[in-house]
Amino acid sequence: MRYSQAISLTALNNKKIIIIAAPSGSGKTTLVKRLLAAKDNLAFSISACTRTPRQGELHGKDYYFYDKDTFVRMIEEDAFVEWEMVYAGKYYGTLKEELERIWALDKYPLIDIDVMGALSVRDKYRDICLTIFIEAPSIEVLRERLIARGTETPQTLEERISKAVDELKVAPEFDKIIINDDLERATEALLQNVESFLNE
Ligand code: 5GP
């Protein structure tokens, strides 16, 4: 066996997945970016979705943006590890091929996903997942952050808040809960948890 083959077989035996879920507005995106910057053996798992790209977002970087018909066809073709209608009429899903792409790079996928999606991936890959729930200090802080972000209409704001209230109830199912009351402390806690899981 050639050396390169030996390396990739080792990597295949060492597949792991980091899953980070949080209510919208809990600061998850910032924490995910910090984690990716600190650890070059992690790669962001790019989800597919049917929402409109926000300013600056790119297909193949932030998401794979598809129209609804294409997404539904991909569901029928069994392309997803999981998919959810996260918000009314908007589909989001984790592609099987995306996880394989990242493992083939000898890296660990970092999945940023909604709470129910996180538990679906965990149920499929139970032995190789670390599930982390990021919690905002309070619903009021969450509301302020979402308003400050300026991406929501009054209706989508309320939709995101009511989803966050439901999601909080499921937090105890995760391996770790990190409260994002202080960005530095939350980043440190996240790094420590991920490092110890990858070193297991
Ligand atoms: P946003 O529209 O703000 O980018 O994302 C909305 C929510 O969808 C976030 O909680 C995000 O984590 C979640 N999400 C992103 N990708 C996926 C995915 O592949 N599957 C599921 N179930 N949720 C996702």
Q: What is the pLDDT of residues 103-154, one digit of tens each?
A: 999 999 999 999 999 999 999 999 999 999 999 888 898 899 889 988 889 9
Q: Report pLDDT for 8.
A: 45
Q: Looking at the domain assignment, is residue 34 inside a domain? A: yes
Q: Looking at the domain assignment, is residue 7 inside a domain? A: no
Which DSSP symbol is given to 129? Answer: E
Centre of ligand 1 to C-alpha 93, Å, is 8
Q: Report pLDDT for 93.
A: 98
Which DSSP symbol is given to 181? Answer: S
Atom of ligand 1 nearest to the CA of 63: 16
Centre of ligand 1 to C-alpha 3, Å, is 39
* Mean pLDDT of all residues in 17-31: 90
* Mean pLDDT of all residues in 176-196: 95
User: What gap in Å lies between CA 81 and CA 48, rounded to an integer?
Assistant: 11
Q: Looking at the domain assignment, is residue 6 inside a domain? A: no
Q: Report pLDDT for 9.
A: 45
Q: Looking at the domain assignment, is residue 114 inside a domain? A: yes
CATH number of the domain at 74, please.
Answer: 3.40.50.300
Domain containing 107 equals 16-198
Question: Which of 64, 83, 92 has the most ligand 1 atoms within 8 A of CB, as the residue to mutate?
Answer: 92
Element (H, E) at 142: helix 139-149
User: What gap in Å lies between CA 187 and CA 96, rounded to an integer?
Assistant: 28
Sign of the torsion formed by the C-alpha atoms of 53, 87, 129 and 123 = negative
Cβ of residue 84 lying under 6 Å from some atom of ligand 1? yes
Q: Report the percentage of the chain scoring pLDDT > 70.
A: 94
Residue 33 has pLDDT above 60, yes or no: yes
Residue 76 has pLDDT above 80, yes or no: yes
User: What gap in Å lies between CA 49 and CA 46, rounded to an integer?
Assistant: 10
Question: What is the domain count for the chain?
Answer: 1
Q: Looking at the domain assignment, is residue 4 inside a domain? A: no
Cβ of residue 98 lying under 6 Å from some atom of ligand 1? no
Q: Looking at the domain assignment, is residue 53 inside a domain? A: yes
Q: Looking at the domain assignment, is residue 5 inside a domain? A: no
Residue 190 has pLDDT above 90, yes or no: yes
This prediction has a pTM of 0.87
Is beta strand 42-44 parallel, antiparallel or unpaired with respect to 176-179?
A: unpaired
Q: Report pLDDT for 13.
A: 61
> Which pLDDT band holds residue 23 (cuts at 50, 70, 90)?
confident
Cβ of residue 94 lying under 6 Å from some atom of ligand 1? yes
Atom of ligand 1 nearest to the CA of 86: 8
Of 137, 141, 117, the C-alpha closest to 129 is: 117
CA 180 to chain centre: 16
